[in-house]
Structure 1
C-alpha cells in the first residue's frame, strides 16, 4: 500500500481514500509515529477552529485507524488543548500486536492564535512546578478517569501522549495515575523541565556534572536551612517507564539528557538518595517561594530517545537563525519523519531505579 507521508505545513495532504496505515504496536518507530501524529491532530483541530476552515485534521488519526472520541476544551479560552482518540476494532484495519483502545493526546503552546495567553500561563506553571494546580491538568485527570472506567482492568489499552506543554501534562498525569494504581503507557515529545539547562552550556561533561552537583547541594542546603518542603521519589512509580523524546538542540527539554547522565554519575558515588532529593526541587520554586508541586522531571525510570540530527537553517540573520533552529529542534514533525538516514542518528537511553545505570544503544525498530 503506497501512501504519501506527512507534510510539515501544519496539516496533512494525504489519504483522501479510506485506507489505513498498518499499526504495529511491537515496532518502536511505529509507536513514535502514531503518538506524535495524534498530537499533531490536536494542533490541527485547534487551527481548524481558529481559522474557521474545512476540517483538515482528520487524516492525522484516521490514517492509523482511530476515530475522535472527545475533544478536551480549555475553559479559559474555549480552545482545544487535547483529545481522546478511540481505535476502531473493525476487522479490515491491519495491525500487529494489540493496539491501544484509547490514546489521550495533549498539544503544546500555540503562540500565533488567541490561545497564547492561556498557554503561556500553563507554561509558567511548568516552570514553578505548579502544573498540577492548573485547570487543564485537573480536567485531563478527570477525563483519564472517565476513560479508565470503561477499561478498569485493561490499563495497557490506554496511552497518554503530548508535545511541549502537552508533554508536561501527559507526563504528570501518567505519574498521578500510576500512584492511583493505573500505570499507563506514556509518550512525551519535548517535555519542559524546571531546571537550569546546563546541557546547553559549552564545556565538557565533567564540568557540567560539577555544576549539577553544586546545584543539587545548593537546593538541598536551602531546604534544610529554611525547613522547606521537598518532594521525594515515590516508590509507587518505580515500575512506570515513560517514553521521553528530546533533541539536544532544544533548550526546552535538552536537560533531560544531562539529568539521566547525572543520575548515573551520582549512583557511581553512592549519592543516589541525595540526587533524588535535589531533583525533587527547583531553584525557581525555592527562591521565589512558590507553592511546591510535583516536578515534571522527577522520574524513577525512563526510556529516552535523543534525536542527534542538528537542525539546518539557511539564513545570515543571527536572531532568526537562533529562532529557526529552536523551532526545528522543538518541532513535533521530527518524530514522524520516516527518513531512515535521520532515524539512524537517534539514540536510546534507559534508566531504571534498581541500578540507576544509563545504557545507550542505537534505536531499534522492534
Structure 2
C-alpha cells in the first residue's frame, strides 16, 4: 500500500498564492504575470500531488488555476519517467467577469514546470538541465511531447489566444517552443520566469568596468571564432543563414522575468544591455553577429566536448520584453523561486529590446 504524503504550507494557494487578485484585469501587466506564474505553480503541484499519491480531496494543485477560472484540459507527461511536466489550461471566465480587458485574455495557456527536487522526477529533470547546457533540449522526448501539444492546439484554435509560460527548465521549454512557432509565423504570447542563460554570471560582478571589459572581450572572441568558422567552411554563407533565422523570429517578443541576483538567469540583463550599447556606438553589425553565438557553447565545442550543438543556442533571443526584479532577496535560492513573481510589492525595471 502506498502512503499518502500530506502537503506542506507552501504548497497551498490559500497560504501563499495571489488570492488578492479577485478581479483580473487582463490589461494589467502585474495581473497577467501573476496568473501565468500561478498556472506554472499549478503544474508543479500536479506532479507533487501525483508523487504524494494524494486523492481528489487531498490535492493541492486545483486552487492554483481554479481561483482564476481556468481548468486543466490536458496534462503533459514525460514518456521517460511518467512525470507531469506541463499542462494545457483553458480559460472559462464566469459571466460577471466579462469586461473590456477580455480582449487581452488567453483562451488557452500551456504551462511547463521547472526542476522538481522529488525522488521520482529529479533524475530526469537534472538530465534535461544538462541538455540545456549542451544545447540539446530540442532532441529530447519531453520537448517533442511539448511542441506536439503546442502545434496541435494552435492548429485548432489559432495562435492569437494561446499563451506559453514556464519557470526555469520549464521556461527553457516554453522558449524553445515559442521560437519554433515563431519560425512558422506564429508569435505566441509568452511569460518566461527565470529562464536559464548558459554563461558565467558576469552580471553578478559588482565592478561595472570589469563587467563591461569581460563582455567586450567576449564579443571580440565570438566575432573572431564566427569569422574563422565561416572561412573554414569555404565561405558557405552559414552565418548568413543563421542571421536570416535569427531575424525571422525577431518579431516574437516574449516576456522574460529575471532576478538580478539569480545566477541562472541574470545574464540576460547584460546580454541585452551590451547589445544595445554596441548598437548605440554604431557597431550594430557586430552586435547582430555576436548576439547569435554563445561563447560557452563555442568553447566547449572547441575543446572537444562531444554533443555540443553550436548551431542555434536556445537561450539567445533577438527580441524580448525584459522585466528585472530588483527586490532584495535573502539568497540565490529565493532569487530563483517562482513565488516572487506574484508579490504585489515588487521593485521592477522593464525594458523592451528589439532586434535591429
Q: Distance in 2 between matches of 1:288 and 1:252?
A: 18
Q: Does 1:186 align with 2:190?
A: yes
Q: Does 1:108 align with 2:114?
A: yes
Residue number among 343, 349, 353 corresponding to 2:355 in the alignment: 353
Q: Distance in 2 between matches of 1:9 and 1:178?
A: 36
Name 2:29's counterpart in structure 1: 28
Name 1:225's counterpart in structure 2: 228
Q: Give me the TM-score of the superposition, normalised by structure 2.
A: 0.86
Name 1:59's counterpart in structure 2: 63
Q: Does 1:166 align with 2:170?
A: yes
Query: Residue 234 of structure 1: CA displacement?
Result: 1.9
Q: Distance in 2 between matches of 1:334 and 1:58?
A: 20
Q: Is the 8 A contact 2:182 2:249 kept in 1?
A: yes
Specify the SS of the correspondent of 2:10.
coil
Output aligned runs, 1:271-350, within 5 Å. 271-289=283-301, 290-312=308-330, 325-338=331-344, 342-343=345-346, 345-350=347-352
- Residues 73 and 286 of structure 1, relative CA distance in 2, 3 Å threshold: same
Residue number among 225, 237, 247 corresponding to 1:235 in the alignment: 247
Q: Does 1:74 align with 2:91?
A: no
Q: Distance in 2 between matches of 1:303 and 1:141?
A: 23
- Residues 224 and 115 of structure 1, relative CA distance in 2, 3 Å threshold: same
Specify the SS of the correspondent of 1:112.
coil
Any idea what the Cα deviations from partners look like across 1:314-366, whole Å, max 9, x if unmatched?
xxxxxxxxxxx11110000000112xxx32x1111111224xxxxxxxxxxxx
Name 1:316's counterpart in structure 2: none
Q: Give me the TM-score of the superposition, normalised by structure 1.
A: 0.83
- Residues 277 and 11 of structure 1, relative CA distance in 2, 3 Å threshold: farther
Q: Distance in 2 between matches of 1:58 and 1:222?
A: 50
Higher helix share: 2
Q: Distance in 2 between matches of 1:293 and 1:138?
A: 19
Q: Distance in 2 between matches of 1:336 and 1:8?
A: 17
Name 1:322's counterpart in structure 2: none
Q: Does 1:213 align with 2:216?
A: yes
Specify the SS of the correspondent of 2:117.
coil
Query: Residue 77 of structure 1: CA displacement?
Result: 0.6
Q: Is the 8 A contact 1:11 1:44 kept in 2?
A: no
Name 2:280's counterpart in structure 1: 268
